[in-house]
Amino acid sequence: MDPCFETATRLARAIRNGRLSAREATEAHLERIARLNGPINALVVVDRDGALKAARAADRVRAKKGAKLGPLHGVPITIKEAFDVAGLATTSSHPPLKDNIASADASLVARLRAAGAVILGKTNVPELCADFQTESPLFGITRNAWDERRTAGGSTGGGAAAVAARLSPLELGSDIGGSVRNPAHYNGIFSLKPTEWRVPSRGHVPDLPGVTRTVRYMGVFGPLARSVEDLETALRIVAGPDGNEAEAAPVPIGPAPALAAKGLRIAVLDSNPLVRVSSDTAAVIEATARLLAKAGAKVKHAAPEGLDWQQSWDDWSDLFQYLVRALQPLGERERFMAKIGSPDPSVRSVARAARLDMAEFFAVLDRRDRTIRACETFLDGYDAWLMPVMPDAAFIRQKPSVPLMIDGVAHPYFFAGTSYNYLANFTGQPSIVLPCGFSREGLPIGLQLVGKRWGEANLLGVAKALERLLPPCPVPPSYAA
């Protein structure tokens, strides 16, 4: 077996059964990283010595009679650079943090280590994880493994490129506006955005070290992988409160049901009023809906009654801006206040939030509650909601100041790039991305399944049923060997 082309859970089984050693799996990935990482710049920190030391230790434990092995025992993985990994730099690509060395693991990193994972290194992010392309002022550009001219997505762009190129079987990422989902879509892999507050945030930047924590809503943390089974394995490892955050609730995940496509109730969203998807994306949505219907699912094109897409996008964006600007000095915020009339919805949102109006902040939260109720009530009638991840396949890298073109129509960059991902962040609902098809140019297109809050177990069951109808996780042609 070639360890680099196995999923994380298959590697774990091979190591547990003695068909492969942790050292062999780790060395194979390190060799592949050394050979293939350069053109895409997915990993920006490679901890060769630490990984080999951990792999040797894993093999010693495996050799002991009766040893208890974790679900990822000996499996090499990567970590988004924004998470603390003890002894390695955590900068979140923010130049003032270029010399910051983590003294301890982030909560989720510690849990993955305790499950037996071997950390190969850390993957690239845009500055403070604030873009859906990955261009770092400290580490440079991460390129798409399918076409190096194109974006790998962001902010977990380095991690998605690493998993797609078979440099890593599993990545730990974060998502407040699509940051584990759009890179999975752009790179032809799987990802899971859990329910809000399902997993703790301690040790993740952009909440800067030693500074008041402000990112208390919508930001979540989850895996990127090459199978739904891997997503489930990783979620069960990282989920649950760590005693550091009052918001994190001890809600059990429960067993994922064994579901077949037959009888599933699937709502389908073709496009929303904010940004119409490309014809390539529309074709993949329709083909996937037909695939489910042919397998016996009850498929209906539907959306929550009365959902105001523009208002909910504005509210998501405003809440995000309140969080990231809460500690910003008045003088810095005043520069944005006069832009309230901008034609760009993102700029208008910055101008609104720059006032830090507490009455309006609570009004946003109030409208958020109503949007959550509308989407939860809608999903009472369905097992999952299938929708686009992004309006189109990966685009050729561009400046954020340039409009994003979708089938020849120009849209404000940030608005277009969040027009489908924002909703599950705003409602806190879980979402799973699966690679479902390709554009006419041969670029992968993913779709997301959204489920009810705290309903990851059922959503994983639905995702597995869809996964069985789809071809295996695709390999970028340049990384097929």
Distance CA 428, CA 267 (A): 18
If one counts every other C-beta atom within 10 angstroms of the C-beta of residue 461, the result is: 22
Assigned token pair, 277: 């998807």
Assigned token pair, 214: 């402000």
Distance CA 140, CA 161 (A): 14
Beta bridge partners of 299: 266
Residue 370, CA distances (Å) to 16, 224, 317 in order: 48, 30, 16
If one counts every other C-beta atom within 10 angstroms of the C-beta of residue 89, the result is: 17
Q: Which of 92, 93, 155, 168 is catalytic?
A: 155
Q: Is 93 annotated in the active site?
A: no
Distance CA 68, CA 100 (A): 35
Residue from 264, 174, 169, 257 nearest 218 by CA: 174
Given the structure tokens 């194109």, which residue do they identify? 150
Cβ-contact 322, 207 below 8 angstroms: no
* Cβ burial, residue 106 (10 Å; 0-12/13-18/19+): buried
Q: Is 155 annotated in the active site?
A: yes
Half-sphere exposure of 368 (CA within 13 A, CB side): 23
Q: Which of 21, 107, 174, 179 is catalytic?
A: 179
Distance CA 136, CA 162 (A): 16
Q: Write the DSSP symbol of residue 184.
A: H
* Cβ burial, residue 31 (10 Å; 0-12/13-18/19+): exposed
Q: Is 179 annotated in the active site?
A: yes
Distance CA 252, CA 240 (A): 8
Beta bridge partners of 76: 118
Q: How many residues make up the chain in this entry?
A: 481
* Catalytic machinery residues: 80, 155, 179
